[in-house]
Amino acid sequence: MTGQNRDLARRAFLSLALLAAAAACAADKPNIVLIFADDMGYGDPRCFNPQSKCPTPNIDRLAAQGMRFTDAHSAGTTCVPSRYGLLTGRYPFRNASMTPNTGSLIAPGSLTIASLLRDRGYATAMVGKWHLGFEGGKDFDYSKPFRGGPVDRGFETFFGQHASLDIPPYFYIENDRCTAAPVEKIAANNTPGWSPIQGAFWRAGPVAPDFKMENVLPTYVRKVEQYIARRQKPGQGKPFFLYLAMTAPHTPWLPTEQFRSASMGNLYSQWVAQVDASVGQVLAALDRAGLADNTLVFFSSDNGPVWYPEDVKKYGHSSTGELRGMKGDVWEGGHRMPLIARWPGRIKPDAASRQLVCLIDTLATVAELTGGLPKDGAEDSFSFLPELLARKANSPVRTEMLLGGGKNLCIRQGDWKLIPFLGSGGFSRPSRRKPGPGEPAGQLYNLADDPGETRNLYAVRRDLVEKLTARTRELSSTPRSRP
């Protein structure tokens, strides 16, 4: 053997030894299942809003068996930035583009929850809605592999769709290939009695012959059940990370026969009931496989609901509970999310946490659980593992967080929230308005005594406005916010 060959052989042996060590280490780790609802409001699950009209027995049971976070926030107020922040542990405003039509939004080689766990010996799988773009943007070539999607960003397998269930073209992607090209056409749809972006709303466009709107959510749940059934018993192989990005209760609201009954309430609550039952099916699959005890389950949602004040009056249900605003808004209803974590024997049952956390923190949390935070990546992610395991009660996970982007960047610090403009910033009208004579230029709320954001203290607490404005500038001009 030449010196060079010996060196190669030694390096190959070391790589194998490292891989074996990673696998051995990973074998002791829990499986991680992340269930992400789409557009579910803080006030939908009854465990967060006892007045909810949506039947959510499975989400409630998950909460009763684990920890509920009452001050958890998505990284954005709409699908794309929220998902970007969740998977990368990085504020979406740091990215040049948040438009999936222009290409793959997560840069090649960026750390994601999936790439981190894969490199630490986990099997990684995603099922459902990606919405973070592919190379080539909206110019899909159905004859070629889709690059820059889940399988190029850490997931070993993927079954799902490119964006929301109301955005054409409509087709499934398996790993990096389309299962059937969208060669047919589907007309636009909506539901009388609801606004144009509620009900069974979808846009007209190309659709694949194997893609039926009402079958999409049940198909994803079945794929997840099959994946879990194939996994091995604890200690017998690789642990897995499974990300189920549901397409609901986002539009189109399409409850199947089983949920279309008056006892389930209106169309929306019927659809939420089906989402809840889908969560129940995933939990039942873990039970059947004997994996529930060794699996950390997260449940949350990507942003607030499309639910207007008129709907609250008409249906007696507030999809955001007592929070102000809706999807897209920088008010709490747009981004405060129901977050639940269950890990039997490790997380105390029926626990509640009032800690400020952001879904961006999921990456650091699973990183700490599986061997510590990497040096690079996860720029804005703070681990809430100590909170989950009640190791450091009273020690804050994070003291501040940024939301939005550009000149609209808002900051939360402690109980205070500064919005540097007037209006919702999103779907509630007006989204933005100029101050009238003598009116303050922005909004400042104390969420501890005013969670509904009804008393604007911008004019009376100028000291805080200045301090928080300076801090926003400081935080946004550094490349990372975690140490």
Residues in 275-334 at the binding interface with Ca ion, rule: CB under 5 A: 302-303
Residues in 37-56 at the binding interface with Ca ion, rule: CB under 5 A: 38-39
Task: For helices 267-288 and 57-64, give the axis angle rounded to 10 degrees.
Answer: 50
Cβ proximity of 159 and 129 under 8 Å: no
> Considering beta carbons, is residue 302 or 387 the nearer one to Ca ion?
302
Instruction: Report the residue closest to Ca ion, judged by CB.
Output: 79
Q: Which stretch binds Ca ion (CB under 5 A): 34-42, 93-101, 174-182, 211-219?
A: 34-42
Distance CA 103, CA 35 (A): 25
60 binds Ca ion (CB under 5 A): no
Least distance between Ca ion and beta carbon 465 (Å): 31
Least distance between Ca ion and beta carbon 207 (Å): 21
Show the binding pattern over residues 403-442: x = contacts Ca ion (CB under 5 A), - = does not. ----------------------------------------
Q: Which stretch binds Ca ion (CB under 5 A): 64-72, 75-83, 426-434, 452-460?
A: 75-83
> Considering beta carbons, is residue 302 or 329 the nearer one to Ca ion?
302
Distance CA 344, CA 383 (A): 19
Show the binding pattern over residues 341-370: x = contacts Ca ion (CB under 5 A), - = does not. ------------------------------
Q: SS3 breakdown of the chain: % helix, strand, coil, rounded to 5?
A: 30, 20, 50
Q: Mention every residue, 6+ apart, whose C-beta is less than 8 A from residue 155.
A: 114, 118, 124, 125, 126, 243
Q: Which stretch binds Ca ion (CB under 5 A): 31-39, 124-132, 148-156, 217-225?
A: 31-39
Least distance between Ca ion and beta carbon 75 (Å): 12
Which of 33, 35, 79, 105 contacts Ca ion by CB under 5 A?
Answer: 79
Q: Is 263 exposed, middle or buried (0-12, 13-18, 19+ CB in 10 A)?
A: exposed
> Considering beta carbons, is residue 117 or 306 the nearer one to Ca ion?
306
Least distance between Ca ion and beta carbon 327 (Å): 7
> Considering beta carbons, is residue 38 or 379 the nearer one to Ca ion?
38
Least distance between Ca ion and beta carbon 357 (Å): 19
Distance CA 370, CA 235 (A): 15
Least distance between Ca ion and beta carbon 98 (Å): 13
Residue 400 to residues 13, 62, 353, 416, Cα–Cα distance (Å)? 45, 28, 16, 9
Any idea of the CA torsion for 3, 7, 9, 11, to the nearest 10 degrees? 180
Q: What is the DSSP string of 112-160?
A: -HHHHHHHTT-EEEEEEE--S--TTTT---TTSPPPSSGGGTT-SEEEE
Least distance between Ca ion and beta carbon 439 (Å): 32
Least distance between Ca ion and beta carbon 230 (Å): 29
> Considering beta carbons, is residue 79 or 373 the nearer one to Ca ion?
79
> Considering beta carbons, is residue 44 or 302 the nearer one to Ca ion?
302
Cβ proximity of 44 and 272 under 8 Å: yes
Cβ proximity of 25 and 288 under 8 Å: no
Least distance between Ca ion and beta carbon 240 (Å): 25
Q: What is the DSSP letter of 169?
A: S
Q: How many residues bind Ca ion (CB under 5 A)?
A: 5
Show the binding pattern over residues 184-223: x = contacts Ca ion (CB under 5 A), - = does not. ----------------------------------------
Least distance between Ca ion and beta carbon 65 (Å): 26
> Considering beta carbons, is residue 276 or 302 the nearer one to Ca ion?
302
Could you identify the residue written with the tokens 């309430």? 265
Q: Quote the tokens at residue 168.
A: 């054409």
Distance CA 265, CA 300 (A): 23
Q: What is the DSSP letter of 263?
A: G
Q: Which stretch binds Ca ion (CB under 5 A): 36-44, 209-217, 224-232, 399-407?
A: 36-44
Element (H, E) at 472: helix 462-477
Positions touching Ca ion (CB under 5 A) are 38-39, 79, 302-303
